[in-house]
Structure 1
Amino acid sequence: MTVNDDSFTNWKHREETAESMIPMIGKLHREQDVTILLHSRSLVNKSVVSILKTHRFARQIAGAELSVTETMPFLRALTTLDLGPSQIDIGMLAATYRTDDRGLSVEEFTAEAVAGATGANKTDRREGRDVVLYGFGRIGRLVARLLIEKAGSGNGLRLRAVVVRGGGQQDLVKRASLLRRDSVHGQFQGTITVDEDSSTILANGNAIKVIYADDPSQVDYTAYGIKDAILIDNTGKWRDREGLSKHLRPGIDKVVLTAPGKGDVPNIVHGVNHDTVKPDERILSCASCTTNAIVPPLKAMDDEYGVLRGHVETVHSFTNDQNLLDNYHKSDRRGRSAPLNMVITETGAASAVAKALPDLKARITGSSIRVPVPDVSIAILNLQLAREATREEVLDHLREVSLTSPLKRQIDFISAPDAVSSDFIGSRHASIVDAGALKVEGDNAILYLWYDNEFGYSCQVVRVVQHVSGVEYPTYPAPAV
């Protein structure tokens, strides 16, 4: 048998293994509200090839490819346990089992590692929480996709309604079409139909009421059977407590803003300060995409090396706030054609760091350049450290943070030498450390951080909403602190 024959036989065997994983992963998700992860990436509703690619990608972080034949025994062991709602990372189970020298079987080790999610320790399955989207633009539609994807067992977040301004004839059909197809993020994974008589979009069985209103004061959500809902404001029209309080109408319990909050509105970056949200806080912000991209790696660097000061330069994709062709704009430069120019502009991300990381004493400055790409940006974080370090030391630290720390859902790590911006479209992480571009000299470190400023940010928004709604379930094995 030739090498080619061996490789193909091995591939077919791995395909068969991944195929047999799919019903196990689906059943755990539907019946027990258990989400199976692989190094913080969900395997729910993934294809055979997607499962294999996710295993292969583990080599970028762990240094070696992870085989489905290694993780399958742990998945099989999980199906025999009385599990409660949780997230279980079979990649981490396999990795920690390799270093365990107690001679335990896979079944014994797995049962011990997830003991907090079994038997009397199980978290109770919580009732679904209603969610309303106020605004249905770039972020609104991506958040909608994520909420529909995560509806799964029916016990999590339930997208009940979208509030928009009336747009004339066939408004509902056009909005459904924008949800169905996206020039950047591709087609919606599932089916979408429209019921114009009831002003409803049906997406993968989820009935989403489309409510037309020009102002929050015009809506009584209880009239649509909505109660104790979390409203996500994607318009950015109101950013302070007074303005956002307009949303606290009958049926709405909390308001989450997908833009930097002003005044005393808490700016929350999931993974960094989400645990500071008080239970009685009704209004909060998810800050900006750039704040979410820089704050987790900034915290990781400050925790290990200390940061004395820093500057962030963002090279940011253009947005709907800019003009296609030169036209009037209230900002000095954003009126110039977005697809034809690099545009110097301001960023509020540096000043927002203080809200998300109040213990950081370093002064962080920032600026931004908008460039002619529709999605994915890069933040160049230039830091003066409190002690000297080597490039290898910093790389090892950031790789480990992306793999095992509480920030592993926020920070990804890539060592591919030929990576470019479009490779990160659809990334669910807040930022991705580019290992090849990292520079360290003495006490100076320059980090290059890719981020999908649309989808990665939307994932961070949904994580915050899950947290404040009480449907964010624990992850096993627990990340190293």
Structure 2
Amino acid sequence: MTQDHFSDWQHAQELAEAMIPIVGRLYRERDVTIRIHSRSLVNKSAIDVLRTHRFVRHIEGYELSIDDTSAILQAVAALDLGAATIDIGRLAVAYAASDEGLSVEEYVARELADATGENKLADVGGKDVVLYGFGRIGRLVARLLVEKAGSGNGLRLRAVVVRKGGENDLVKRASLFRRDSIHGHFNGSITIDEENSTIIANGNAIRFIYASDPSDVDYTAYGINDAILIDNTGRWRDREGLSQHLRPGVDKVVLTAPGKGDIPNIVHGVNHEGIDPAERILSCASCTTNAVVPAIKAMEDAFGIRSGHVETVHSFTNDQNLLDNYHKADRRGRSAPLNLVIVETGAASAIKKALPNLEATISGNAIRVPTPDVSMAVLNLNLKQATTRDEVFATLRQASLEGPLKRAIDFTSAADAVSTDFIGSRAATVVDGNALIVNDDNAILYLWYDNEFGYSTQVLRVIQQISGVEYPELPKS
């Protein structure tokens, strides 16, 4: 029996190893990203591939067979594909459930017809991206942009604008980019060209521009044109302040914080398709807004919401003090690693901006806790109809699999899940199915979210949307 288990493992590992070069070629040569239930297989090891297959049991209720996905991937690779994101996990599950008598090749060709032959997406060329600031979110977005470089025809991180911090500034910034105490080492190679103020990450040349104010920079002088600038400093949050970035070479400005006034707050998966193409300044809202709005949307669509409250249990951030010291805000001056700290939150008002048609009133509060990353939102909803725990469980699980929210919402039924399990999660929010409480018309949802990496991934999705390099996701729901 033991030998049988080991033989099965060796067989699965052999298939996973054979999948890796196919996934890599599709990505580099055709801008095709292969996923399994929204989890990318690009640049993953054989063990990562097998772990992804096993994770599916938390969603589908059973472990996905690598024999099935391997056959699907072979059929995908044989097609004349254009740029696309293809979920071979969903294809494998759907093919197993079909009774049409089609071969794997016939079924895959039909399901991916929108990305093959004459239907291939036209090459829109690359889009320049500039980061204004290089803090926690800036460095993670930079990692994601480098990771998503693909064939070079998509988003291209061209420059980072920072204030010079002193001697060896570039070396120190490269070190922070290379090593992260929470998110680990950068997946690849980083070299430094100090003479040209450039960091080369996996072949991507990123110019560091030293400036203390937006008006100091002419991006065209660096060969940058029609760029999307991502302001991750939070220094300006209104239209007047952010308009300073609309300099030569910059086309649009995206803020990684809640926007004030008439600036649209975008939560990808919820309202990203309604972005006005003429809008030049927009916001990706906050990490907490991105965590709660998708779940609220799913619950509103299924059951209706009369009212609710969100309590955020949030990891401490850079705007708190390590030790007790003066701070302009109440309570934030107290030591972050030693205390639970009640802080104000704008999540309730931001929910209204992202879901303007929501009639329900959602209140909110937040508690900062002594952990460095991964937060939780406890969402207490009074529904317009009575329901059951099983119905809510099924609704949220399905939202993580199908429909517009599937990239924003993830789902876990792991009985022993804790916060560190979600470091590096690429979803805006992860529903904890086991923690769900439902009593008639009241539902309490527990939502995990990596307030750094998950949010950065949402920012990147918005950038892809407004850049025109948002590739079709197949198979269609």
Whether TM exceeds 0.5 here: the answer is yes
Instruction: Look up the SS of the partner of 1:338 in the other structure.
Output: coil
Instruction: Look up the SS of the partner of 1:426 in the other structure.
Output: coil
Q: Does 1:67 align with 2:65?
A: yes
Following superposition, the deviation at residue 284 of structure 1 comes to 0.2
| One-letter amino acid matched to 1:308 | R
Q: Deviations over 1:23-74 (max 9, x none)?
A: 1111111111111110011111111000000010000000000021110111
Q: Which residue of 1 aligns with 2:158?
A: 160
Q: Deviations over 1:234-256 (max 9, x none)?
A: 00011011110000000000000
Any residues of structure 2 matched to 1:340-351 within 5 Å, and which?
340-351=338-349
Distance 1:408 1:436 in 2: 19
Instruction: Look up the SS of the partner of 1:211 in the other structure.
Output: strand
Q: Which residue of 2 aligns with 1:301?
A: 299
Q: Deviations over 1:391-443 (max 9, x none)?
A: 01110111111112221111111111111000000000000000111000000
Distance 1:14 1:420 in 2: 29
Instruction: Look up the SS of the partner of 1:178 in the other structure.
Output: helix
Q: Deviations over 1:97-149 (max 9, x none)?
A: 12211111111110010110011111112211000000000000000000000
Q: Which residue of 2 aligns with 1:254?
A: 252
Distance 1:156 1:327 in 2: 45
Q: Does 1:192 align with 2:190?
A: yes
Q: Which residue of 2 aligns with 1:212?
A: 210
| One-letter amino acid matched to 1:270 | H
Q: Deviations over 1:261-295 (max 9, x none)?
A: 00000000000000111111100000000000000
Q: Does 1:133 align with 2:131?
A: yes
Distance 1:242 1:279 in 2: 20
> Paired residue for 1:39, among 24, 37, 40?
37
Distance 1:258 1:351 in 2: 17
Any residues of structure 2 matched to 1:82-481 within 5 Å, and which?
82-479=80-477
Instruction: Look up the SS of the partner of 1:95 in the other structure.
Output: helix
Distance 2:151 2:6 in 1: 37
Distance 2:402 2:350 in 1: 27
Following superposition, the deviation at residue 166 of structure 1 comes to 0.9
Distance 1:81 1:332 in 2: 60
Instruction: Look up the SS of the partner of 1:107 in the other structure.
Output: helix
| One-letter amino acid matched to 2:457 | C
Distance 2:163 2:429 in 1: 33
Distance 2:354 2:277 in 1: 18
Following superposition, the deviation at residue 376 of structure 1 comes to 0.2
| One-letter amino acid matched to 1:420 | V
Q: Which residue of 1 aligns with 2:49?
A: 51
Instruction: Look up the SS of the partner of 2:42 in the other structure.
Output: coil
| One-letter amino acid matched to 2:326 | Y
Instruction: Look up the SS of the partner of 1:404 in the other structure.
Output: coil
Distance 1:69 1:53 in 2: 14
Distance 2:132 2:405 in 1: 29
| One-letter amino acid matched to 2:387 | A
| One-letter amino acid matched to 2:442 | N
Distance 1:193 1:229 in 2: 24
Instruction: Look up the SS of the partner of 1:144 in the other structure.
Output: helix
Which segments of 5 or more consecutive residues in structure 2 lack a partner in the other structure?
A: none
Q: Deviations over 1:420-469 (max 9, x none)?
A: 00000000000000011100000000000000000000000000000000
> Paired residue for 1:10, among 5, 8, 11?
8
Q: Deviations over 1:353-389 (max 9, x none)?
A: 1111111110000000000000000000000001001
| One-letter amino acid matched to 1:194 | I
Following superposition, the deviation at residue 79 of structure 1 comes to 1.1
Following superposition, the deviation at residue 478 of structure 1 comes to 1.0
Distance 2:171 2:236 in 1: 28
Distance 2:295 2:463 in 1: 22
Moved more, 26-35 or 212-221: 26-35
Instruction: Look up the SS of the partner of 2:165 in the other structure.
Output: coil
Q: Deviations over 1:151-209 (max 9, x none)?
A: 02111100000000010100000000000000000000011111111100011111000
Following superposition, the deviation at residue 304 of structure 1 comes to 0.3
Distance 1:126 1:41 in 2: 25
| One-letter amino acid matched to 1:118 | T
Which segments of 5 or more consecutive residues in structure 1 lack a partner in the other structure?
A: none
Instruction: Look up the SS of the partner of 2:196 in the other structure.
Output: coil
